[in-house]
Structure 1
Amino acid sequence: MIAASPCTRRVCGTISLVLALGLPVPAAAATAADTASEWSDGESWRTRIVSAVTAAGSRPTLPLGLQVALDDGWHIYWRSPGEAGLPPTLTVGPASENVASVEFVWPAPEQSVEQGQLVTRTYAGNVLIPIRLHVEEPGRPTTLDAGIDYQVCAQVCIPVRVDTLLHLPAGAASPSSHARIIAEAEARVPGPPQAAGFERLTAAFDGVRTVHITADSMFELDTSPEQIVALLEGPEGIFFRSDHATVSADGKTVAVVVDVLPPFDAEQLEGADLGVTLVTGSANAYRQLVLAAAPASTGGDLTLGVAFLLALLGGLILNLMPCVLPVLGIKIARLIDAAGQDRAVVSASFLATAAGIVASFGLLALLVAAVRAAGLTAGWGFQFQIPGFIAFVAVIVLLFAAVLAGICDIRLPIRVNRWFQAAGGDLKGHAGAFAEGAFATVLATPCTAPVVGTAVGFALTRGFGDIVLVFLGLGLGMAVPWLLVAVRPGLLAMLPRPGPWMGRLKLVLALMLLGTAIWLLSVLHSAAGVIPTAVAAGLSGLAVLAFAVRTAERIVPVVRGAGLASLVLAVLFPAMAGYTGPGDRMPASDPLWRPLNPAAVPHLAADQVLLVDVTADWCVTCVVNKRLVLDRPPIRNLLEVGDIVGLRGDWTLPDSDIAAYLATHQRLGVPFNAVYGPGLPEGEVLPELLTADAIIEAVQRAKRAKVR
């Protein structure tokens, strides 16, 4: 079989429809009669049905087309729209004559990202979707009474309904002036691989979150890898994103990496029927196949049981991470207060703190699962990308610092205290201990301890139950020290006897919390800007002053009510101010680090060694890695002399491209670091806590292919 070149096949595709119909090719298109329904005009779009022929002729199938003219910025959807949208549909109305059935034939669409993260397949501009009308009796006059429904979208989506009528008289069929655009649209319809010039088109699932598409072409492709996408249609409710493509040196082998968008169940994909549309521009192919299994690139041997054990270990290690150090102040203060108390009271208090930790991790799991089920991006520490949440935590930390320093105290209404006591509880003790556990969980999430990223990344590729189980494992691991004291309260006897040192220690711990509050305000500044941060800080200070009032009992309720209102406004103002997108943020630049473009990584790694660093202002572990490893010799020396190229991505604010990139490596949190190169084309993910030796060893492995 001799395959035509891409250019030749495009020309052939344009006239193939006319030849297939057995029609004479007109000397000039202007002499052909127009055959189309009336335009139906919308706000920013027009719709009609057009015909490639002027009459019904004698063939059993008539070539028509749905033409939608869209203004700039508007689009409609492909047959498999992706995470949002509805495709066009056509209903045959009662006024139709000689119509057996109609069907759309779908040209290759474009992959789009809507609202920053929803992956869709769309058409824009002057859209023509071919229609094949099958007649009941060839040669008879044919009338199509068409009811067309579709969704047109820009910043908002609008449902459109068009009722239109197209009549084709009996007689010899000649090409109309619309024949060319219909034929060109038909030429963009993906066909069988062999007809499109491909000897082989396969798909393999790595068992984790990636489908690998491979195609061997009979001719050299004249399309750049950036223009190649693979559009997958699989089990209902599972969505895909074509990530990046590579082309072999001879231009005949195409490999496309396609991400499976969470949440999903990997078992649904293994052995599933899959439709693969490969779009290269010069040749578009479609194949229906059964998805085969392939070795997982990362984490393929990880099971739910192993992930749970890793979560337990990671949760325990979280107690030693930098972002949990401020909470250590509250923990030590609790130990000081517990010294000399009845052992049963101590055990109950520490059990309440452990319960607060575990319950908070469970709530976080439910929140993450709900956000991801809604089609949004959620990973470890994602809540610190929300200005309102940052402001809320900063306010709470500041209040804890003030209470610990003895500046103020916060009392709940008398009725609430009485109700809790009537129920047999100790509100100040047990509820306070529970709140401390919840607070420890909140401040732990900006840190990623060793193995936490692996466990969380595994969970977020699975279903709801797996997410909850892994997060509860993290909570149990972090609660181990508290459970240990609850079981063995006699351990408190090891503390020094109470004395004046306790007050001084509490003051030091209060200063630690104050430092944490200042750091949180700096993170809020990165996310929301100067004015919301200044307002939140000022209102929080006023609230502390209000709660510090202890005299003039008649005005205390009024003043404290004003303090409570200040706290609410301190949270609401940054939440309402928010941000309009990642483009608002201008992070400080380091000339040794280039901005990360995930799509360009495979091409850059072909002939140079890359060090990727994905960071965020709210990630304490990221800051530690920078100051102790990345910004110091010998790593900085390697960057300065050009032995490695640094690529840095900023995830302080939500970024769908970075989230998708992290997902390809089974990570949905920061810090994330990886090394790429000729010897490591798929990249090697580094530990969460970096060391210079780990980076240098990975760099040497990445260089090996270059030496050969």
Structure 2
Amino acid sequence: MFYLGSIKTQWASAAALLAAFMPGHALAEAAASKWADSDFTGVRLISAVEATGGLESVSLGLHFRLKEGWKVYWRSPGDAGFPPRVDWAGSQNLEKAVLSWPAPERFSILGFETLGYKDEVVLPISAIPSRIGEPVSFAAAVDYLACNKICIPVRAELTLDLPAGPPLPSAFVYSIHRYAVRVPGDGAAHGVTIERAEASGGGKDAALRVSASGIIPFVKPDMYIEGPEELQFSAPRVRLSDGGRSALLEVSVSGGKDRNGGLVGKNLTITIVDGARSAERSLTALPGAALPAAEKAGQPSLPLILVMALIGGLILNLMPCVLPVLSIKLLGVIRHGGGERRKVRLDFIASASGILFSFLVMAGVLTALKAAGASVGWGIQFQHPWFLIALTLLVTLFACNLWGFFEFRLPNGIYNIGEHSSHAHGLGGSFVSGVFATLLATPCSAPFLGTAVGFAMTRGAAEIFAVFTALGVGLALPFLAMAAAPGLATRLPRPGPWMNSLRRVLGVAMAATAAWLLTVLVAQVGIVAAVVIGVMMTFVGAALYAGRRLGRASAMVVIALSAAAFVTPNVLFSVAPPSVAGGNGEPELRWTPFDEAAIAGLVAGGKVVFVDVTADWCITCIVNKRFVLAKGQAFARLSGDSVTLMKADWTLPDENISRYLAGFGRYGIPFNVVYGPGAADGLPLPELLTQDAVLTALDKAALSPSASLR
């Protein structure tokens, strides 16, 4: 037990402050060894007290400081590495020293999982003197492995002498305490309980499932398993329920040859960390029952997920938010009427490449955000005003281009790769159109897409990239089909004056898209700022129209207005705060704000609860409401007194809603769930709602628990 636990916080802080201002930092020097520095790391021994006094245990700390990108390992390093080891053989008046380990963080690189510390860490040490009250000389030979892109074994020789005398707190008492409280205990202090561990499967299907509960809802729990040396454990797949208060964490197990992965009956040490909270428990793995059929269906294999992602990407071409993109595709096909087959093929391959490139960029960004601990999901970029403003500007420019206000040209070296053309439609332009198609597709969802994205977001980087590549291929399939059969395009009528009228119509479609984006922006920056930005976009169009005569002056106006549009929300935000009420066009339905904690009480009272996770930028959500929820029998049932409607508005980032979605393995919207006496845990509905799906779920949820089992 650390001595610092018996020291009053005020006394410790005052003593530490006094020590910092003493000449030459005399107290600090007396309670710490010299730094043993290498090129990338440093380590020293520090003490929480200045003298041994009558203490039965002296609190020490092994203090590491690491340059950026370098790390040292936890007691169980994972797939590689070894932890710091300390040899106290040269010490005097020391019976034993026990090293403790603060909760580590996980490092995932190329599919390998390691556990350790970066930047700085203090490993608390409880040192027990052989003779209490006498001086102690600590001699620590420390061997540790420091890793970045390469790993370097380091040996440090540290010495620290503590005299006899009053055990006043040193300048390092806070540093040691700060990391001592991070050492996982039984979880009682943090309200976290590790309940049981069950092993199932064998060979490649071996898995360990751990159940845990928390008084406070879990946010992003991680789990570290220590067991037989021959076994390796993956990062956990987490499923939250009961409002986040229950967690099921499952890891894949490799290296075991027996049934159940060689885990049943083996002693395991399980550590669960969720932010500042942690718990640790040693237990024996029990044989687990087979997964319920429904749960197996919820955990498909990667090949099946990739097929679903491919189909979801293909269906995405038919979603409402992609209609403006289809207009660009149509114009591109018509432009090739009567053209050369080779040019047609290259053009569509370039467009497909733009789509695939965009999905790979999205996968990279989501992987980085996930590693940094941020909330991730499909379409989350629409929660940020700067993205909406940029996309509105881009759509406005495309509309102006279709109306002939200007010719949109990239540098010739990009636009005319592979061909020489007098107009702005080289391969570079086709590539850009593919990128644009992806941008406008992201606020929509489609059947299979939510399941595929949800699977990817609970896995590692490799799975995220694989799923998003399949989504990109699905969205690009119409382009690839044209590339495979260019004769379909070359049989169309040759371009002519009639195309000018078509361009104007398609320009109107793009302008309507820009107007819709501005309505989404209202919920984020307020109506005044959104109107001002809309006026600026109008002036951008006017400047481009006038630019055919004014030239460079017009270009400067466009640049100035575009820059001002990004500044406008910050200037006007305080004038007109965002208004998020009534933006989804269903005033007849009595929606109440989402309150996850209230659901259980409503269900216990016999109510059916319909939860709609939505956003102003989610077009599929709007389609579901206007054409299903606000029509026919579904509307009649939802309007009844026996149903409580809850709207979870995800237009802006909301950690509670993100956690709620993750509890169902979902990372995108639309998402609808029905609760009731017959469905206390909730019945998720498909992305695209139908009258039958809604009514069936309402009927099942309304049943009594006994009736629902028949």
Quick check: TM above 0.5? yes
Contact 1:381 1:445 in 2 (8 A): yes
Go from structure 1 to structure 2 and tell me whether the alpha carbon gap of 1:358 and 1:418 turns closer, same or farther (over 3 Å shift).
closer
- Hey, what's the Cα distance between the residues in 2 that align with 1:278 and 1:655? 22
- Hey, what's the Cα distance between the residues in 2 that align with 1:146 and 1:700? 73
- Hey, what's the Cα distance between the residues in 1 that align with 2:194 and 2:309? 46
Runs of 5+ in structure 2 lacking a partner?
A: 20-45, 62-73, 76-83, 104-122, 141-159, 167-176, 226-231
Query: Out of 328, 331, 334, which is 1:333 matched to?
Result: 331
Contact 2:364 2:465 in 1 (8 A): yes
Question: What are the superposed Cα offsets for residues 609-665 of structure 1, whole Å, 9 maximum, x if unpaired?
Answer: 322211111110011111122234433433433323222211112222222221222
Contact 2:340 2:490 in 1 (8 A): no
Contact 1:37 1:50 in 2 (8 A): no
Contact 1:523 1:618 in 2 (8 A): yes
User: What does residue 115 of structure 1 align with?
Assistant: none
Query: Out of 381, 384, 388, which is 1:383 matched to?
Result: 381
Residues 1:323 and 2:296 are matched in the alignment: no
**In the TM superposition, what is the alpha-carbon distance from 1:40 to its structure 2 partner?**
1.5
Residues 1:648 and 2:652 are matched in the alignment: no
C-alpha RMSD of matched pairs (Å): 5.4
Q: What is the DSSP-based 3-state SS (H/G/I as helix, E as strand, rest coil) of the residue aligned with 2:665?
A: coil
User: What does residue 256 of structure 1 align with?
Assistant: 246
- Hey, what's the Cα distance between the residues in 2 that align with 1:392 and 1:339? 33
Q: What is the DSSP-based 3-state SS (H/G/I as helix, E as strand, rest coil) of the residue aligned with 2:291?
A: coil
Contact 2:320 2:619 in 1 (8 A): yes
Query: Out of 14, 17, 29, which is 1:41 matched to?
Result: 17
User: What does residue 479 of structure 1 align with?
Assistant: 476
Query: Out of 460, 464, 471, which is 1:463 matched to?
Result: 460
- Hey, what's the Cα distance between the residues in 1 that align with 2:630 and 2:161? 69
Question: What are the superposed Cα offsets for residues 469-497 of structure 1, whole Å, 9 maximum, x if unpaired?
Answer: 22121121122222222222332366567
Q: What is the DSSP-based 3-state SS (H/G/I as helix, E as strand, rest coil) of the residue aligned with 1:134?
A: strand
Contact 1:535 1:573 in 2 (8 A): no
Question: What are the superposed Cα offsets for residues 557-580 of structure 1, whole Å, 9 maximum, x if unpaired?
Answer: 24224423433443x426877999
Runs of 5+ in structure 1 lacking a partner?
A: 1-16, 22-28, 67-78, 81-88, 109-128, 148-163, 171-181, 216-222, 248-254
Go from structure 1 to structure 2 and tell me whether the alpha carbon gap of 1:244 and 1:314 turns closer, same or farther (over 3 Å shift).
closer
Residues 1:609 and 2:608 are matched in the alignment: yes
User: What does residue 489 of structure 2 align with?
Assistant: 492
Structure 2: which amino acid aligns with 1:41?
L
Q: Which residues in structure 2 correspond to 1:145-224 (within 5 Å)?
A: 190=185, 201-202=196-197, 212-213=210-211
User: What does residue 509 of structure 2 align with?
Assistant: 512
Query: Out of 332, 348, 351, which is 2:349 matched to?
Result: 351
- Hey, what's the Cα distance between the residues in 2 that align with 1:706 and 1:472? 43
Residues 1:417 and 2:412 are matched in the alignment: yes
Go from structure 1 to structure 2 and tell me whether the alpha carbon gap of 1:141 and 1:227 turns closer, same or farther (over 3 Å shift).
farther
- Hey, what's the Cα distance between the residues in 2 that align with 1:703 and 1:380? 31
Contact 1:209 1:461 in 2 (8 A): no
Residues 1:134 and 2:128 are matched in the alignment: yes
- Hey, what's the Cα distance between the residues in 1 that align with 2:481 and 2:187? 65
Question: What are the superposed Cα offsets for residues 543-591 of structure 1, whole Å, 9 maximum, x if unpaired?
Answer: 3233223555xx5124224423433443x426877999xxx75521677
**In the TM superposition, what is the alpha-carbon distance from 1:520 to its structure 2 partner?**
0.8
User: What does residue 552 of structure 2 align with?
Assistant: 557
Q: What is the DSSP-based 3-state SS (H/G/I as helix, E as strand, rest coil) of the residue aligned with 2:667?
A: coil
User: What does residue 567 of structure 2 align with?
Assistant: 573
Go from structure 1 to structure 2 and tell me whether the alpha carbon gap of 1:334 and 1:585 turns closer, same or farther (over 3 Å shift).
same
**In the TM superposition, what is the alpha-carbon distance from 1:688 to its structure 2 partner?**
0.3
**In the TM superposition, what is the alpha-carbon distance from 1:357 to its structure 2 partner?**
1.7
Contact 1:212 1:256 in 2 (8 A): no
**In the TM superposition, what is the alpha-carbon distance from 1:501 to its structure 2 partner?**
5.0
Contact 2:237 2:459 in 1 (8 A): no
User: What does residue 295 of structure 1 align with?
Assistant: 291
- Hey, what's the Cα distance between the residues in 2 that align with 1:208 and 1:549? 68
Structure 1: which amino acid aligns with 2:363?
A
**In the TM superposition, what is the alpha-carbon distance from 1:394 to its structure 2 partner?**
0.7
Q: What is the DSSP-based 3-state SS (H/G/I as helix, E as strand, rest coil) of the residue aligned with 2:610?
A: strand
Q: What is the DSSP-based 3-state SS (H/G/I as helix, E as strand, rest coil) of the residue aligned with 2:318?
A: coil
Structure 2: which amino acid aligns with 1:356?
G
Structure 2: which amino acid aligns with 1:348?
L
- Hey, what's the Cα distance between the residues in 1 that align with 2:460 and 2:219? 31
Query: Out of 376, 394, 402, which is 1:396 matched to?
Result: 394
User: What does residue 692 of structure 1 align with?
Assistant: 691
Q: TM-score, normalised by structure 2?
A: 0.66
User: What does residue 310 of structure 1 align with?
Assistant: 308
Query: Out of 438, 444, 449, which is 2:441 matched to?
Result: 444
Q: What is the DSSP-based 3-state SS (H/G/I as helix, E as strand, rest coil) of the residue aligned with 1:355?
A: helix
User: What does residue 80 of structure 2 align with?
Assistant: none
Percent identity over paired residues: 33
Question: What are the superposed Cα offsets for residues 245-280 of structure 1, whole Å, 9 maximum, x if unpaired?
Answer: 699xxxxxxx832568xxx9897999695525799x
Q: Which residues in structure 2 correspond to 1:657-672 (within 5 Å)?
A: 657-672=656-671
**In the TM superposition, what is the alpha-carbon distance from 1:316 to its structure 2 partner?**
1.1
Q: TM-score, normalised by structure 1?
A: 0.66
**In the TM superposition, what is the alpha-carbon distance from 1:230 to its structure 2 partner?**
8.7
Go from structure 1 to structure 2 and tell me whether the alpha carbon gap of 1:332 and 1:211 turns closer, same or farther (over 3 Å shift).
same
User: What does residue 117 of structure 1 align with?
Assistant: none
Q: What is the DSSP-based 3-state SS (H/G/I as helix, E as strand, rest coil) of the residue aligned with 1:39?
A: helix
Q: Which residues in structure 2 correspond to 1:594-633 (within 5 Å)?
A: 594-598=592-596, 601=599, 604-606=602-604, 608-633=607-632
**In the TM superposition, what is the alpha-carbon distance from 1:683 to its structure 2 partner?**
2.4
Q: After the TM superposition, which of the residue ranges 481-490 and 438-447 deviates more from structure 2? A: 481-490
Go from structure 1 to structure 2 and tell me whether the alpha carbon gap of 1:214 and 1:517 turns closer, same or farther (over 3 Å shift).
closer
Go from structure 1 to structure 2 and tell me whether the alpha carbon gap of 1:166 and 1:289 turns closer, same or farther (over 3 Å shift).
farther
User: What does residue 521 of structure 1 align with?
Assistant: 518
Structure 2: which amino acid aligns with 1:514?
A
Structure 2: which amino acid aligns with 1:559?
S
Structure 1: which amino acid aligns with 2:387?
F
Contact 1:204 1:213 in 2 (8 A): no
Go from structure 1 to structure 2 and tell me whether the alpha carbon gap of 1:549 and 1:604 turns closer, same or farther (over 3 Å shift).
same
Go from structure 1 to structure 2 and tell me whether the alpha carbon gap of 1:286 and 1:519 turns closer, same or farther (over 3 Å shift).
same
- Hey, what's the Cα distance between the residues in 1 that align with 2:496 and 2:441? 31
Contact 2:306 2:467 in 1 (8 A): yes
**In the TM superposition, what is the alpha-carbon distance from 1:354 to its structure 2 partner?**
1.9
- Hey, what's the Cα distance between the residues in 2 that align with 1:696 and 1:437? 39
- Hey, what's the Cα distance between the residues in 1 that align with 2:270 and 2:322? 48
Residues 1:453 and 2:422 are matched in the alignment: no
**In the TM superposition, what is the alpha-carbon distance from 1:392 to its structure 2 partner?**
1.1
User: What does residue 588 of structure 1 align with?
Assistant: 581
Go from structure 1 to structure 2 and tell me whether the alpha carbon gap of 1:585 and 1:142 turns closer, same or farther (over 3 Å shift).
farther
User: What does residue 541 of structure 1 align with?
Assistant: 538
Q: What is the DSSP-based 3-state SS (H/G/I as helix, E as strand, rest coil) of the residue aligned with 1:649?
A: strand
User: What does residue 118 of structure 2 align with?
Assistant: none
Go from structure 1 to structure 2 and tell me whether the alpha carbon gap of 1:138 and 1:703 turns closer, same or farther (over 3 Å shift).
farther
**In the TM superposition, what is the alpha-carbon distance from 1:527 to its structure 2 partner?**
2.2
User: What does residue 116 of structure 1 align with?
Assistant: none
- Hey, what's the Cα distance between the residues in 2 that align with 1:461 and 1:208? 18
**In the TM superposition, what is the alpha-carbon distance from 1:526 to its structure 2 partner?**
1.8
Question: What are the superposed Cα offsets for residues 289-320 of structure 1, whole Å, 9 maximum, x if unpaired?
Answer: 55976637365441111111111111111111
